[in-house]
């Protein structure tokens, strides 16, 4: 067995916890690779949700499951807190786990596990919103989020979007600070295609990372659709979404 260990060095600056994980796995006869090795059976991700998101983009392409150990704050995607990390690793090595497949999105050739945002901070923009090439609405807002069920607990939730169950197959479109009281979030099917046409230049942000600019024009738009890739998240003690939300003080 080969296991990759990926550490957010801001969360473990001295790499002391990383060394504990490495030594434990080596003591179990596991071959270790430090980093995103693509021939690993799974990756151990030491960090928080941001680290998990960054790893998920690469891991999904190579069909590699992720086991997250939370060294950060929220840890929606991680399986265990730091103090339980070695116990969780022991369970995985004993095949006492499940693998959750999480839907991902694709936009501008990039993968998103959480969301795609088109817009700009601190200023109203105008967008034509299409679903399956049909004009749904022209929206004045700071931006528009298209989120997966996983991403429904992130930026979309902060913007007033609904919670979706993690394993469901759907998307939520959430306007950010809409200028109209009648504009509301919309849940659509996973097979639907979204196109956002900006009337002014806007930022494109995927899973919190600015990746480019959306240029205005009627024939130019950002297309968002379900990816053929899924993120695989290892869970040793699957918890209901509502339990996680209560634990994280969201409910």
- pLDDT, block means (10 residues), the chain with 251 residues: 96 97 97 94 96 96 97 85 95 96 96 96 88 95 97 94 93 94 93 96 95 83 96 86 67 57
Task: Give the residue numbers annotated as catalytic, written as ranges.
Answer: 49
DSSP 3-state assignment of 54? helix
Location of each CATH 3.40.50.10330 domain in the chain: 2-97+236-247
Strand 125-131 relative to strand 134-141, pairing: antiparallel
CATH fold group of domain 2-97+236-247: Rossmann fold (3.40.50)
Task: Count Cα neighbours of 2 within 13 Å in the Cβ-side half-sphere.
Answer: 10
Q: Cβ atoms within 10 A of the Cβ of 104, count? A: 22
Q: What pTM was computed for the model?
A: 0.93
Q: In the prediction, which pLDDT does 243 show?
A: 72
Name the strands in the sheet holding 186-189, side by side, starting at the edge strand that comes first in the sequence.
186-189, 170-176, 143-147, 115-119, 202-206, 209-214
| Residue-level pLDDT at 247 | 65
The closest of 69, 4, 93, 94 to 40, measured between CA atoms, is 4
Task: Write out the residue limits of the CATH 2.60.200.30 domain(s) in the chain.
Answer: 106-228
Element (H, E) at 231: strand 222-235
pLDDT of the residue at 246 = 73
Residue 112: the pLDDT is 98
Q: Report the pLDDT value the prediction gives residue 180, as an integer from 0 to 100.
A: 87
Q: Among the CATH numbers 3.30.450.20, 2.60.200.30, 3.30.565.10, 3.40.50.1820, which is that of 106-228?
A: 2.60.200.30
Give the whole-angstrom CA distance, residue 3 versus residue 22: 9
């Amino acid at each position: 067995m080969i296991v990759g260990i990926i550490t957010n060095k801001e969360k473990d600056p001295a790499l002391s916890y990383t060394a504990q994980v490495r030594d434990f796995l080596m003591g179990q006869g596991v071959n270790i690779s430090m980093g995103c090795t693509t021939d690993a059976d799974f990756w151990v991700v030491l960090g928080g949700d941001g680290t998990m998101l960054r790893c998920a983009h690469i891991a999904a392409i190579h069909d590699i499951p992720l086991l997250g150990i939370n060294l950060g704050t929220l840890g929606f995607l991680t399986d265990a807190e730091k103090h339980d990390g070695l116990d969780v690793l022991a369970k995985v090595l004993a095949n006492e786990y499940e693998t959750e497949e999480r839907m991902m999105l694709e936009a501008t050739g990039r993968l998103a596990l959480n969301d795609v945002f088109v817009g700009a901070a601190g200023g109203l923009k105008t967008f034509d919103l299409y679903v399956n090439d049909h004009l749904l609405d022209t929206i004045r807002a700071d931006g528009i989020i298209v989120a997966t069920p996983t991403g429904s607990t992130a930026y979309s939730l902060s913007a007033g979007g609904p919670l979706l169950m993690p394993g469901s197959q759907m998307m939520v479109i959430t306007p950010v600070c809409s200028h109209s009281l009648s504009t509301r979030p919309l849940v659509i099917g996973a097979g639907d295609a979204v196109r956002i046409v900006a009337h002014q230049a806007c930022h494109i942000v995927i899973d919190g990372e600015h990746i480019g600019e959306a240029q205005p024009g009627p024939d130019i738009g950002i297309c968002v659709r379900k990816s053929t890739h899924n993120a695989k998240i290892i869970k040793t003690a699957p918890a209901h979404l509502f339990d996680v939300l209560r634990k994280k003080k969201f409910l």
